[in-house]
Chains A and B, each alone.
Chain A
């Protein structure tokens, strides 16, 4: 027996596997969940400070309440718009074969390649009525609320379409056909059969969009700074996360802001969690009774011009509201006035961002995959069900609040032990980890355990059956999770700013450039960031395709 066999024997042993699982669960609980919700304990320990500086200060309270309300309003509007505009496109992707489907598929994913900071700038110069609008821009929107809604639609739209497409593809089309053979028009069949069946997908899509919108910081700050033509101040239009960013920055000089920061973060975290539950229950429980049918109007809408109008407007929406604003920034290359600039700081920031994103992805994969396997393979155990719920928490908590909580946690543990870059990495791990776990859990659950069991009956050790049988089948999903984690980390602003006020990552660098009104430089930085992430995504995409095929 060679030494590699011995190692295999050891790793396959019951003792090692138990220990490994325990280690990953402990890592998840202590490095991800605990820091994320740590701030809730401040509600108890620092209550007197909060009482003194926040609750008894009407001006601060007003700021907090209005910012939080605005955040939730925007997230709700964005989710509804995404659903209405995304459903027809998801339908086309899942149910129809047409020329250019592949192209549409790529088009939908494109905004995912653009870091939100770059998106915020790009969308803002396209839509907003700025003091010096660039050529071709609409420069029509002066309402900050509307601008932010439009911006958030851009980056949450792909999530909605992806979720809806996935679940639509999973629903047997026979149900709809059966409905039609019974005399239901296409629209009636869709409304009474397919839509009720895909609630689960709707929940996922809605939660993803809602959480993304609620969380978004970098793009929002940039868009508002562009609209105002200056750095944001306290009296401006604020969302929850921008308020955290603003106060965190100011708290370096003015520590009395910390209780207010704590309070906003707690409020955002609790409301987000409550909302997660409410949304889930609302979508799953509300039923439109079958009794209500409108055969003739629905029949009318099922045929002729209407479906064409619906599809065309959905595609136009995708192009005008999602794609063009995402890439409008490229017009800057043609029309901007080049300025002599020192690129070194940006390159430094870029390198930092890539190092962070790579390390984050590596940690996610190393600890997230075992966790996902544990959750997916022990569905009946209480612990697995609990972990499954816990994994979603960092996904729904606004990243700015998460970052602030995490910073607070590690400072409490040991302020000296954590250099800023480690804090940034830990905060990014917290909100990207669920992306890897969710993807892998989904994939593993979709695979018949009989394959692995067969491998075991043929004499494979657990590790071998995983590596040779399961791994090749879930590789695509692992890579998809990795891509999501990587690009999310690369584009993240909110958590970074909230954990370390003067961090030096590429998105933060761009935020600072826009605040200083160095638009040309900001645009160039955005373009470089977009190109790099896009190339990265294409490579990974090609890689995943080859693996899957």
Chain B
């Protein structure tokens, strides 16, 4: 039932445009993440859906119903806050019971529902404890139980894991997805952490400067980003400026700044077009021939070694090698870097420069 639709939604604070002309549809039961750097307008967006903010223009529809003028409490949403916001003067059970009580549910529901959801997050044994006595992760689980106990079918998660320790954050991600999928809820999850977005969502909506850049499944966002900004923001990538020299059916040949010609995916670019090549570090290899480069740094990453090398084209490239092979490299070594044609994506060179196009703020 809770399909969420945004139609031409904009929000301005004075002269600052926080969201501009957003169109978005979230299907029933879908887990959607709104991803973007700080200040991109993602929190504004979720707040407009919750009713904490009213859009300056456009419509928010929940379950097909226009929400303009409908106060927060009548939108039937569950909202989990970044700063957790468990009521400090109430214990865990009272916190979770808050929704059923203020929604005037039957006495039986008031008794059973809070217990059921506390059990769901495995914190039934802490029900008499006050928020300050729990760890951040436990608190956020209770906050989730509290949001669920109000009976909402649409869950809005506003950076729910950002305030937590790295390890707790990882564990909770899976909890979040498991619980919401078990209950069949529609979820809108806001985060600036691309790894978090990749692991929990059915679909990622990437935002920048108040606009939606691109929206797709996590896999497609990583493997085939349509925008240069996406390629850079999701995962890591090497960006090289170049000019197309030849467009064949099965590949595009691009000349980088030192004159070396490298291969990239087939494209529609014409010879002479200024382009940017994006190639992920795990796809770059040291070969017999290729882009000539000098090893500058080596970092041990656990399962692999990340090497950065400065190419003759003045580009800095990162590439990964398995740990045993890492011993073959030393700082100052000359290497030849190359990649398979299919792993190099091509984008038109932005007129304002690459740095400007991928800048986070």
Chain B residues proximal to chain A, CB less than 8 Å: 50, 52, 71-73, 76-79, 81, 83, 85, 87-90, 94, 97-99, 101-104, 146-147, 150, 156
Contact = CB atoms under 8 A, between A and B. Distances in A.
Most buried by A among B73, B103, B150: B73
A188 to B, nearest CB: 5
A545 interface: no
A181 B89 CA distance: 18
A451 interface: no
Contacts of A290: 90, 94, 97-98, 101
B143 to A, nearest CB: 8
A185 B51 CA distance: 13
Interface in A180-235: 180-186, 188-189, 192-193, 196-197
22 contacts: A172-B83, A172-B85, A174-B81, A177-B72, A178-B85, A179-B87, A179-B98, A179-B102, A180-B72, A181-B77, A181-B147, A182-B78, A182-B98, A182-B102, A182-B146, A183-B73, A184-B98, A192-B102, A196-B89, A290-B90, A290-B101, A293-B104
A467 interface: no
Given A185-B102, A192-B98, A295-B103, 11 more contacts: A172-B83, A174-B83, A175-B87, A177-B79, A181-B79, A182-B102, A186-B71, A186-B73, A189-B102, A197-B87, A290-B98
Contacts of B150: 181-183
Interface in A290-315: 290-291, 293, 295-296, 299, 302-303
B130 to A, nearest CB: 13
A184 B87 CA distance: 13
B188 to A, nearest CB: 13
A178 B87 contact: yes
The 10 closest A-B pairs by CB, nearest first: A181-B79, A182-B99, A184-B102, A183-B103, A180-B72, A174-B85, A295-B104, A178-B85, A182-B150, A180-B73
Contacts of B101: 290-291, 293
Contact of B73 (A172, A181, A291): A181
Given A183-B99, A185-B73, A291-B101, A178 B81 contact: yes
A180 B51 CA distance: 10
Most buried by A among B52, B88, B101: B101
B211 to A, nearest CB: 26
Q: Is the interface of A mostly helix, strand, loop or mixed?
A: helix
A185 B102 CA distance: 8
B50 A181 contact: yes
A183 B50 CA distance: 12
Contacts of A185: 71, 73, 102
Interface string A139-175: 0000000000000000000000000000000001011
A290 B101 CA distance: 8
B105 to A, nearest CB: 9
Most buried by B among A183, A196, A302: A183
Contact of B87 (A188, A193, A299): A193
Contact of A197 (B88, B94, B97): B88
A482 to B, nearest CB: 34
B234 to A, nearest CB: 29
A303 B72 CA distance: 12
Contacts of B88: 175, 197
Contacts of A175: 85, 87-88
A180 B147 CA distance: 11
Contacts of B89: 193, 196-197
A179 B71 CA distance: 12
B81 A293 contact: no
Most buried by B among A174, A188, A299: A174
B73 A184 contact: yes
